[in-house]
Amino acid sequence: MSITTTLPAETGNSTNWPEWFSKDQNEAWELFQSLPQPKRNDEPWRFANLKSIDLSDFHVSVPVQDGASLITRSSAHTNLAAKLIFANEVLIHNDQAGLPAGVLLLPLEEAAKNHEKLFRKSFMTSDVRLGSKKFAALHQAHLRSGAFVYVPKGVVVERPIEIWHWVEGENATIFPHTLVVLEEGASATVIDHFMSSRDERSLAIAVNDLTVETNAKLHYVAVQEWSDKMTAFHINTTEVEKEGVSTALQMNLGGAYVRGESDSHLLGEGSRSVMLSINPATGNREIDQRTFQDHFAPRATSDLLYHNALADSSRTIFAGLIKVEEHAHETDAYQKVRNLMLSDEAEANSMPGLEILADNVRCSHGATSGELNEDELFYMMARGIAPKQAAQLIVRGFFGTVLERLENEELQAHLGEILDRKLNL
Amino acid sequence: MSTETKPDIDIDRSVGDFRYEMDYAFDAGVGLTEATIDYISDVKGDPDWVRAFRKEGYRKFLEKPMPTHWATKDLESIVFENIRYYLSQGQVPKRTWDEVPDDIKRTFERLGIPEQERKFLSGVEAQFDSEAAYSNIKAAVGEQGVIFVGSTEGLKEHPEIFKKWFGKVIPSGDNKFSALNSAVFSGGSFIYVPPGVKVKHPLQAYFRINAQNFGQFERTLIIVDEGAELTYMEGCTAPKFETATLHSAVVELVAMKGAKIQYITVQNWSSNVFNLVTKRGIAHEDAEVKWIDCNIGSRLTMKYPGVVMKGKGARGEVVSIALSGDGQHQDTGAKMIHAADNTTSNIISKSISLGTGRSTYRGMVHVPKHLKGCKNNTECDALLINSHSRTDTYPAISVRGQGNAVQHEASVSQISAEQIFYMQQRGLSEAAAMSLAVNGFVNDLVQQFPMEYSVELKRLIDLEMEGSVG
């Protein structure tokens, strides 16, 4: 039964949500049904291949066959504070031995039940305004579980928290969700891994809500390694309060159609949001990213850097908007997208936008498209490096400049290794 | 620097703000129906194919929705049924100023058109509401085979050239307003420059709206043949009315192999005019089309001059200056379509927003598959003067394949307190310092205008600062 036509209650996957949440889910379902499917002339879907978002032949997932092997395969960082593993939305592994006292790392449904106030304060509270409102509603209606990360005032979690989301099954759908709240002065690193168990065509509609309160500091990384047949939505909202810092990196290493929406709200004076993305596009992959840097408060900074390397017949779409609301004076906002064209069949679309309603701001954006530097290629070939290898090294260096923006060397090295493996270096 | 102490800046838009009462011999009345189109066709003595073209345009106009899914909702303030679509004193322009009726002539004299013509122009066409009142080309230029007439005369006297390109660069269904223009067009220029002829001095057209609730829909078609060169300038003004006025032109340029066209606009409509214009040029092999577009007036301008680079080595350029004052919205930009190898395009846009003004840059750069050596450079700089001013930038850039280089950069800035302080230390008033800083911001672009126009432009951006520093 299709996820688009069948009410969640009828899917038979009853969960342990509290009653009030089930009610919200029914409302979300009604919202999903009432909102129109995106059309060609809808500005938030400009350039997108709308055939990719016909979701009618996807169904809900059933529990995986071999959870143990997925636990074995969920191995990346070696020095962790905690690790949660979800397979088809079922929590199959929960290790949080390394977490400091007071930190909560819970399945979402448990947080909804036992920490209702905290949950309600941060769970999908912002309007989804970059195009996927309909699909976010579908996510909420179908949601079965997810990760809830809460770091109380002043607590510093030194080592990363890893959360794995596995999907398995042809045409199966999962709805991964990660909710992070850092209270005043807290700090943490959260890494979401998105994985396909097999080389199958499945669907993921993932949502994450990141709340960074006064003086808190968050590193958030999404390592997306879906199968090359996957359709995936990654819908993000980040809210940063006074003097808080959020640094978020999306690494899109897999998928057939990947839609990313990153909406950053700079709510407090002196807040900072760094938005990064690394996108090696190969095959027929389409990476469709929409971003929003919305400045509500004075003296805040946002800095976006997206690097796309396009091989084969891949396509990328980048549509980003910096908005400086009235009174958000002395804003610093930057946005840069670079497309490295590696093939004659590839296509890069860039729509970097600015809307400035305040004065005394410093804003700039840039979009470039170019090819491999012949001189660099020649230099390496002259030293005996095969042309293909040389090109990969240049691509790796191109992505390296994005990784360098992370203010955490251990994390940089860790993600660099994942990238090397992906690029066969 | 605190926003309160910043002076307000006013731009001198008073130059065109006067009007004389007129009795029109030809009036299509108010509103738009098929009968309006038949009236215009009858009065102008259109050939059948033009009448059919108009009706097709009308059909498309009705079909197309207002583009408010991306453009400003202010477009909905246009009430099409309240507009007068055709007003004129006659359809044949005069060849000398002496023949132009006094009531029309005094308008153009006050705007200084005959004087400019004597000084530095190769030819002038002066349009008053729907039709050209005056059209003349210097004998020496005419003898070279250059044709410079109104669109009506062009389609009747030179159908072999006219028909070949008319509506081909901008199809009538390109957008709602190009469709509207196709239905009711009147006036505008038809220019043909024969192979190898380099027209030394610019040809100029001047567009004047005199009547209230009027819509001006001129249609310009310029064909510059192989190796020929032309500079064309247009200016426009209208008096300030209580109600909205509509100006919706279509301008098509064709630059044949190795030809060069430079098209210069200084738009200074009064602040009640909706200025919705479609402009596009085709550049064939090694040809160059350059739009220099300066928007100072109007309530809302939507204009994105484009170049389709159809032949190898073709070049396209848009230089755009926009100034938005209180209540104004300048929504301008450029379209660059690369359709052959080794084509290059350049877009430079500078906008200034004052008071409650809003400046928007919208751009499109398109490099399709299997092209090599295409280059685009886009630079957009915006200057915000007051805390209620607004600026937006919305480019869309599509690149397929490798071997091309495209770059876009935009920045938003203020006049820094340090700059103003520095100049004040040297004895300038705050107002004079602001004025100097604003002029400095656009100076490198103003330099690109022909001498006479850059003087005109500087005068228009001559900021009146008196009594504005609180």
> Residue B382: its pLDDT value, please?
93
Q: Is the pLDDT of residue B462 over 80?
A: no
Taking a contact as any Cβ pair under 8 Å apart, which residues of chain B between 362 and 391 contact chain A?
A: 367, 369-370, 382, 384-391
| B243 CB within 8 Å of a chain A CB | no
With CB atoms and an 8 Å threshold, state whether A42 touches B405: no
User: What Cα–Cα distance (Å) separates residue B17 from each residue in B14, B215, B271, B457, B465?
Assistant: 5, 17, 10, 17, 20
pLDDT at A12: 43
Q: How confident is the model at residue B461 (pLDDT cuts 50, 70, 90)?
A: low
Q: How far apart are CA B219 and CA A422, in angstroms?
A: 57
- As a whole-number percent, the residues of chain A with pLDDT over 70 amount to 98
Q: Which residue has the higher pLDDT, B270 or B223?
A: B223
Structure-model confidence comparison of residues B263 and B129, the more confident one? B263
Residue B12: per-residue pLDDT: 60
A349/B398 Cβ within 8 A: yes
What is the pLDDT confidence band of residue B464, given thresholds at 50, 70 and 90?
very low
pLDDT at B175 over 90: yes
CB < 8 Å from B in window 36-95 of A: 41-43, 46-47
pLDDT computed for residue B33 by the predictor: 94
Task: Kindly tell me if the per-residue pLDDT of B470 is higher than 50.
Answer: no
Predicted pLDDT at A306: 98
Q: Considering only alpha carbons, which residue of chain B is nearest residue A374?
A: B403
CB contact under 8 A, B399 and A354: no
Q: What is the pLDDT of residues B401-435, one digit of tens each?
A: 999 999 999 988 887 788 888 999 999 888 788 87
Confidence band, pLDDT 50/70/90 cuts, at residue B7? very low
* pLDDT < 70 regions, chain A: 8-15
Decide if A363 and B411 are in contact by the 8 Å CB cutoff. yes
pLDDT of residue B113: 81
Question: Which pair of structure tokens corresponds to residue A353?
Answer: 């936008």
B3 vs A contacts (CB less than 8 Å): 329, 359-360
pLDDT digits (tens, 9 = 90+) for B309-355: 999 999 999 999 999 988 999 999 999 999 999 999 999 999 999 88
Pairing of strands B315-324, B344-353: parallel
Q: Alpha-carbon distance A293 to A291, whole Å?
A: 7
Q: Which two tokens stand for residue A98?
A: 């390394």
Q: pTM score > 0.95 for this model? A: no
Q: What is the pLDDT, as a whole number, of residue B431?
A: 78
Query: CA of A357, closest CA in chain B: separation in Å?
Result: 5
Which one of A46, A356, A365 has the shortest CB-CB distance to B390? Answer: A356
Query: Residue A353 and residue B390: Cβ atoms within 8 Å?
Result: no
pLDDT in tens, B204-215: 898 888 888 889
Q: Is B399 in Cβ contact with A339 (below 8 Å)?
A: yes
Average pLDDT value over all residues in chain B? 88
DSSP B133-147: EEEEE-HHHHHTT-E
- Minimum mean pLDDT range among A283-287, B105-109, B168-172: B105-109
Stretch 351-410 of chain A: residues touching chain B, C-beta under 8 Å:
351-372
- Which residues of A are less than 8 Å from B399 in CB distance? 339, 341, 347-349, 369
Q: Which residues in A lie closer than 8 A to residue B409 (C-beta atoms)? A: 364-366
Between chain A and chain B, the number of residue pairs with CB atoms below 8 A apart is 133
B46: pLDDT strictly greater than 80: yes
Give me the residue from B1, B386, B395 closest to A351, CB to CB: B395
The ipTM, to two decimals, is: 0.85
